[in-house]
Amino acid sequence: MIKIPSRKFKRISTLGLSAILVFMLVLSGCGNNKEVASSANTANEGNAAAADQPVKIRLQLKWVPQTQFAGYYVALDKGYYKEEGLDVEILPGGPDIVPEQQVANGAAEIGNSWVASLLSHQEQGFPIIEIAQISQKSGMLLVSKKSAGINSPADLKGKKVGSWMGGLEFEILALFKKYNLEAPKDVELAKQGFTMDQLLNDQLDAASALTHNEFPILLEQGLKESDLNVIDMNEEGVAMLQDNLFANTEWLEKNKDAAAKFLRASFKGWQDTINNPEEAVDIVMKSADKDSTTREHQLSMAIAIGKLVLPEGADPSQIGQINKESFQQTADIAYEFGVVKNKVDLSKAYTDEIFNLATGKAQ
């Protein structure tokens, strides 16, 4: 038997002990690495799951469900929003709902309104900005029976003209100014109800009518287009832009991609509405109040609104595009007649960025 000196034995024992300790630390380290890796994998899986969750967007309409807003209902019904990874809820409007307030206070992310109303609320400090212009033309008309003898705007002198007021009279006032007509000296501007009864009963010489609502109502009442004279604000150069989409600025800054996806899906819905208004009506009627409207009226509205969304001769790629000249004209009329107190800074009123992202036109 070979004897090992005690000193050497102690040294070997110490080395062995050290080796065991290092081995244990390595094992311990492996365990910690596994825990770290496991935690990292769990976090990654959680992030992936969160990324897979659809982005919630609430759209606040300015009025009740009708084909004026068909593009959104079609996009929702046909799954266009879902395809873009969005969970969209359409919030109906009404007489007591102000879309600008709803979007500003976070009750909705995107809203629908008329441009003049948007500009007024922006001037009041509401954190909102336009991201798309759905109606490329104004739907505002002045309609009269041929018996009233109003063959041109100049013939409005001495006549009684109806307006709904409440911010809907400014195109008419701009028209008066163009033809050197002053109310009430030259022409009487009267409060008009939300029916066409005053015109039908000859209480008004001319009445306000939207191409997609009141004008079809007159035809449904038995009048023919040949019985009527029509003054079109677009042809007279005093048109103001109407239906648009706007977003909460704080939300938009963090959700540009989601907003672009919303626009892209909505534009598809509008294109489908224009191509097949019958189908669009079927979809909207699922949400509309059938006691207050008819399928026939909604169909005439869908066809008329389609002509505002995509005017004759326009390219489908222009759906939702903001035309600077038309917006400037709207802003100028709004300033001239006191809708806003200060001239509008277009760079703060709207942005092209989201439309460009949606349509692939981004630089």
For residues 87 and 146, state if they share a domain: no
Domain with residue 307: its CATH number is 3.40.190.10
Question: Which of 47 and 254 is assigned the larger pLDDT?
Answer: 254
User: For residues 20 and 289, which has the higher predicted lDDT (pLDDT)?
Assistant: 289
Looking at the fold, whether 174 and 252 belong to one and the same domain comes out as no
pLDDT tens digit sequence for 306-320: 999 999 999 999 999
Res 36: pLDDT? 43
Query: Looking at residue 110, what is its pLDDT?
Result: 98
Check residue 52 and give its pLDDT.
76
Q: 56 forms bridges with which residues in the sheet? A: 87
Residue 48 lies in a domain: no
**Helices (runs of H) and strands (runs of E) counted in the chain:** 16, 10
pLDDT digits (tens, 9 = 90+) for 72-92: 999 999 999 999 999 999 999
The whole-chain average pLDDT of the chain stands at 89
Confidence band (pLDDT; 50, 70, 90) for 51?
Answer: low
Does residue 252 sit in the same domain as residue 309?
A: yes
> Which pLDDT value is given to residue 194?
87
The full length of the chain comes to: 363
Reported as a single tens digit per residue, the pLDDT across 22-31 is: 344 333 444 4
pLDDT at 362 over 80: no
168-to-115, 165, 242 alpha-carbon distances in Å: 11, 5, 10
**pLDDT tens profile 339-349:** 999 999 999 99
Indicate the range of 34-48, 281-295, 327-341 predicted with least confidence: 34-48
How many domains does the chain contain in total?
2
For residue 339, is it within any domain?
Answer: yes
210: left (phi over 0), alpha (psi -120 to 50) or beta: beta
| Residue 80 and residue 59 share a domain | yes
- Collect all residues with Cβ–Cβ distance below 8 Å to 290 and sequence separation of at least 6: none
pTM of the model: 0.84
Query: How high is the pLDDT of residue 9?
Result: 33
Could you list the residue range(s) of the whole structural domain that residue 311 is in? 54-136+241-359
CA dihedral 87, 92, 98, 101 (to 10 degrees): -20
Looking at the fold, whether 315 and 348 belong to one and the same domain comes out as yes
* 196-217 mean pLDDT: 96
pLDDT score at 12: 36
Identify the top-confidence range among 1-15, 25-39, 296-310: 296-310
Residue 49 domain-assigned? Answer: no
The C-alpha atoms of residue 53 and residue 357 are separated, in whole angstroms, by 21
